[in-house]
Chains A and B, each alone.
Chain A
Amino acid sequence: MKSCKIIVVLMAGLALSWGLFLSTAAAKPIKIGVLGPMSFTQGEGHWNGATMAAEEVNAAGGIQVGKEKREIELVKVDTNEFLSIPDATNAVEMAVSRHKVDFLVGGFRTEAVLVMQDIAMESKTVFIGCGAAHPQLCTRVLDDYDTYKYWFRLTPINSSYLGKVDFILLGTAGAIIKKELGVEKVKVAIVAEKAAWADPIVAAAQKIIPEKMGMEVAGVWRPSPVATDCSAELSAIQRAGAHIVFTTFSSSVGLTFAKQMGELKVPAAPVGINVESQKSGFWEATNGAGNYVLTINTYNPVKISEFTIPFVEDYRKRYGEMPNYTAGTHDAIKILQVAIEKAGTINSDEVVKMLEATDLNTAAGRVVFDKSHDVTWGPNYVTALGTQWRDGEMKCVWPYNWEGVTYEGSVPYKLPPWMVEYWKNK
């Protein structure tokens, strides 16, 4: 009888352990589609950021979904969206209907993301946008919540907030020029590449600079986005007596302009948006002439949160460059992990509820989504950064004593020394 009991207990134990083993072995991975133009640097950023996040989560055993741990499986989705919108939509459709991805992250070109968004919403797949900045992507959530509630936008901050940061950087540089050089009326040269996205910034700058910032517009210059020579514009800017060159560049002209400005030692401070200067290769590409260029940025080895420095350093070690903002897929996956674990399921509707309640520190800052599912911007939330090149290093110079925010490791903004010398001798 006793031996019978032992056998029953043993059998039960065996069955339990098999059950546990099978439930662990059968745990299907959570598939996350990473969307991006993979032949371009933006797509590489998407993929690199997501890969790092997936490896970190999987190394810790995966995402806790209810009672089981499920690993992340990334699906690389090359959208080729710079060259073909239909190609982008085919790729997303393939990810959703063939690869059966559970979640989507990424996207870059707004026109393409609008269509990708429709495909994802039709299949009720949660899609965290990391790349396109236009606010319209989120106003759709307000206009038709039931259809578009599966969309969230994480990085970069939307174009309205980018505009705000742009003018804050301009104001910061202007105040320092006034103080250090004793200039009464700071003159600003507005230089923006000839592209549609730059038009509203130029229009706003022409209005805000003289009316609200108390500075003077020295002139407006609009070089081609692919210009290989900007010396004519730079000579004109110098003749106009500008103290600041307010830049709006997303393409290769940013490199040309910064290089020639440094080589000619134009006595003005370059401030604004210069996407080329967000890349690690900028210093080598300009032969160091891009010194003192200030641009809006997303990542830098400063302590925005406890995750920022480890992420930036690991990324730099692994890929040999600084993460660009599309690498925000890293944060997107971490946010998804928390939402899924809280929901205890990967059911889209449940995950959406948890994402809406997100209040989480990520590498780019504290993420809280607003009603339109856009990331909240401001002090103590995600702020973006102002980074300045200094002798081969990209330093974070903003926020620095801004609305009570200073990130540990950031340093005060510095004017180019040749500019200080020029204006002090004048």
Chain B
Amino acid sequence: MRIVVTYIRRVLKILRAEVLVLPSRVTVMVFAIALLALPLVTQDYYILRIMILTSIFAILAASWDLLSGFTGQMNFGHALFFGVAAYVTALLNLRLGLPPYFSIPLGAMGAVLTGLIVGIPCLRLKGSYLALTTLAFPIILMGLVFAFPGITGGELGLSGLTKLTGSRVMDYYVTTSLMLILGGVMWKITDSNTGVILHAIREDEVAARAAGINTTRYKLLAFCLSGFFAGIAGGLYAHFMRLAGPSTLEIGLSFQVIIWSVFGGMVSIYGPIAGVYILNPFMEVLRIILDNFPSLPEMRMFIFAALVLLTLRFMPEGLIPWLRDKVESECPRCKVRNVFFRRSCRICNADMT
């Protein structure tokens, strides 16, 4: 009992001292609570489907940020991890009858292996060469998918997988909880010593190597970690859609991930997650609005593209960092963030102006 009380006190203290003092953290907290409470407000199949897919893509976008944002390994073929995991998950489920709680982690391990396979040849490449090479891998795999239709189902893909869970609400809770947990884990990784090293590699790899860091190992680690998280997303997608097809490897998906991440704000983990949570439902809102104007449905993609372009024109670092900088400022002395109206730092009391 005493332990519980101690923990509650600790949580309350963290809440008071670390969360409630900053609008961005309060927003994250409210967002997480709202997400978990959504099925209490509505159990509309359509809304839950959109939110489930949004959670899955949020994991995917954050995993891209972990690799490309933090380590600077510009991956233009992130759908590779997603697709490999989707296919491995589907094969394990359909051929061996493994249930989702086994097939999804094993599918993610397949994506980790892919991360190693892709990572090794990519270690010596930088910039546009790396981007083009990574772009080629899902295309190669797509070729293999069509070359071995007996295994992969060819252009139809593999369908008829076991449902993720028995109900739409449970599907929602599984995907949303995993998004919150995995998003938190990815954020923690980037905030740890490993994250600092990944940052250092992106900023100046030669200097990082001169400081005694085995950059090869860390770059490979980033590929594998990113592959793992993207793989979980791929496995969830396969079981939710009950299909793993060529569309999971399409270039369009890889670019979509980049658009979400850049729109939300790279090098933050929460930026790409927010990007997906804004853009994905936004497309559906557009669908509903434009449904009332029979001649306008074709405008949906145009409005989407215009929104992204305008955001990047006026918020080059992405929407979320821009908003955060509006409501928070950094202490010039101790580098701790404070709410924008504070005149002195909440930690070191230095003058904020």
Cβ distance A195 to chain B, nearest Cβ, rounded Å:
8
Q: A38-B297, A111-B155 are in contact. Are A90 and B243 (CB under 8 A)?
A: no
Report if B154 contacts A (CB, 8 A): yes
Report if A57 contacts B (CB, 8 A): no
Instruction: Note all chain B residues with C-beta closer than 8 A to A31.
Output: none
A residues 103-149 near B (Cβ < 8 Å) are 110-112, 114-115, 118, 134, 136, 140
Are the CB atoms of B241 and A90 closer together than 8 Å? Answer: no
Are the CB atoms of A85 and B156 closer together than 8 Å? Answer: no
Report if B242 contacts A (CB, 8 A): yes
Closest to A86 in B: B53
Cβ distance B168 to chain A, nearest Cβ, rounded Å:
9
Are the CB atoms of B294 and A94 closer together than 8 Å? Answer: no
Of B1-9, B43-51, B74-82, B171-179, the segment with at least 4 beta carbons within 8 Å of chain A is B43-51
A residues 183-206 near B (Cβ < 8 Å) are 196-197, 199
Of B121-129, B202-210, B244-252, the segment with at least 4 beta carbons within 8 Å of chain A is B244-252
Are the CB atoms of B146 and A90 closer together than 8 Å? Answer: no
Of A76-84, A230-238, A251-259, the segment with at least 4 beta carbons within 8 Å of chain B is A76-84
Which of B45, B146, B159 has a CB less than 8 Å from the CB of A114? B159
Instruction: Note all chain B residues with C-beta closer than 8 A to A97.
Output: 44-46
Cβ distance B286 to chain A, nearest Cβ, rounded Å:
11
Cβ distance B206 to chain A, nearest Cβ, rounded Å:
41
A residues 19-57 near B (Cβ < 8 Å) are 38-39
Instruction: Note all chain A residues with C-beta closer than 8 A to B241.
Output: 85-86, 89, 115
Q: A110-B155, A110-B156, A111-B243 are in contact. Are A93 and B45 (CB under 8 A)?
A: yes
Are the CB atoms of A78 and B287 closer together than 8 Å? Answer: yes
Report if A98 contacts B (CB, 8 A): yes
Instruction: Note all chain A residues with C-beta closer than 8 A to B242.
Output: 115, 118
Are the CB atoms of A89 and B156 closer together than 8 Å? Answer: no
Closest to B243 in A: A115
Are the CB atoms of A90 and B49 closer together than 8 Å? Answer: yes
Report if A313 contacts B (CB, 8 A): no
Cβ distance A113 to chain B, nearest Cβ, rounded Å:
10
Are the CB atoms of A39 and B298 closer together than 8 Å? Answer: yes
Closest to A118 in B: B242
B residues 33-49 near A (Cβ < 8 Å) are 44-46, 49
Are the CB atoms of A87 and B283 closer together than 8 Å? Answer: yes
A288 to B241, CA, bound (A): 46
The total of chain B residues at the interface (CB under 8 A) is 30
Instruction: Note all chain B residues with C-beta closer than 8 A to A38.
Output: 297-298
A80 to B245, CA, bound (A): 16
Contact string against A for B residues 245-271, beta-carbon threshold 8 Å, 1 for contact and 0 otherwise: 111000010000000000000000000
Are the CB atoms of A83 and B252 closer together than 8 Å? Answer: yes
Instruction: Note all chain B residues with C-beta closer than 8 A to A91.
Output: 287
Instruction: Note all chain A residues with C-beta closer than 8 A to B252.
Output: 83-84
Are the CB atoms of A111 and B156 closer together than 8 Å? Answer: yes
Report if B316 contacts A (CB, 8 A): no
Instruction: Note all chain B residues with C-beta closer than 8 A to A90.
Output: 46, 49-50, 53, 284, 287
Q: A97-B44, A111-B247 are in contact. Are A196 and B49 (CB under 8 A)?
A: no
Instruction: Note all chain B residues with C-beta closer than 8 A to A197.
Output: 155
Report if B157 contacts A (CB, 8 A): yes
Report if B149 contacts A (CB, 8 A): yes
Contact string against A for B residues 217-260, beta-carbon threshold 8 Å, 1 for contact and 0 otherwise: 00000000000000000000000011101110000100000000
Instruction: Note all chain B residues with C-beta closer than 8 A to A136.
Output: 156, 159
Closest to B284 in A: A90
Closest to A96 in B: B45
A136 to B160, CA, bound (A): 11
Q: A93-B46, A97-B45, A196-B149 are in contact. Are A111 and B246 (CB under 8 A)?
A: yes
Cβ distance B85 to chain A, nearest Cβ, rounded Å:
16
Q: Most chain-A Cβ atoms within 10 A of its Cβ — which of B46, B154, B242, B287?
A: B46
Contact string against A for B residues 282-313, beta-carbon threshold 8 Å, 1 for contact and 0 otherwise: 01100110010010011010000000000000
Contact string against A for B residues 38-72, beta-carbon threshold 8 Å, 1 for contact and 0 otherwise: 00000011100110010000000000000000000
Are the CB atoms of A85 and B245 closer together than 8 Å? Answer: yes
Are the CB atoms of A76 and B297 closer together than 8 Å? Answer: yes
Closest to B50 in A: A90
Cβ distance A141 to chain B, nearest Cβ, rounded Å:
13
Are the CB atoms of B46 and A78 closer together than 8 Å? Answer: no
Instruction: Note all chain B residues with C-beta closer than 8 A to A80.
Output: 300
Closest to A144 in B: B160
Cβ distance A168 to chain B, nearest Cβ, rounded Å:
25
Are the CB atoms of A94 and B297 closer together than 8 Å? Answer: no
A134 to B155, CA, bound (A): 10
Instruction: Note all chain B residues with C-beta closer than 8 A to A89.
Output: 49, 241
Closest to B157 in A: A111
Instruction: Note all chain B residues with C-beta closer than 8 A to A114.
Output: 156-157, 159, 243, 245
Instruction: Note all chain A residues with C-beta closer than 8 A to B246.
Output: 111
Cβ distance A422 to chain B, nearest Cβ, rounded Å:
38
Cβ distance B157 to chain A, nearest Cβ, rounded Å:
6
Instruction: Note all chain A residues with C-beta closer than 8 A to B50.
Output: 90
Q: A86-B53, A90-B284, A196-B155 are in contact. Are A98 and B243 (CB under 8 A)?
A: no
A138 to B45, CA, bound (A): 26
Q: Most chain-B Cβ atoms within 10 A of its Cβ — which of A78, A85, A118?
A: A85
Closest to A88 in B: B247
Are the CB atoms of A93 and B49 closer together than 8 Å? Answer: yes
Q: Give the 3 A-B residue pairs with the shortest CB-CB distance, closest first.
A: A97-B45, A196-B146, A111-B245
Task: Name 24 interchain pairs, CB-CB below 8 A, sorted by A.
Answer: A39-B297, A76-B291, A78-B300, A85-B243, A85-B245, A85-B247, A87-B283, A89-B49, A89-B241, A90-B50, A90-B53, A94-B46, A94-B287, A94-B288, A97-B45, A97-B46, A111-B155, A111-B156, A111-B247, A114-B159, A114-B245, A134-B156, A196-B154, A199-B146
Which B residues form the contact surface with A (CB < 8 A)? 44-46, 49-50, 53, 146, 149, 154-157, 159-160, 241-243, 245-247, 252, 283-284, 287-288, 291, 294, 297-298, 300
Given A80-B300, A83-B252, A136-B159, 14 other A-B residues pairs in contact with their CB atoms under 8 A: A38-B297, A39-B298, A76-B294, A76-B297, A78-B287, A85-B241, A86-B241, A93-B46, A94-B46, A98-B46, A136-B156, A196-B154, A196-B155, A199-B146
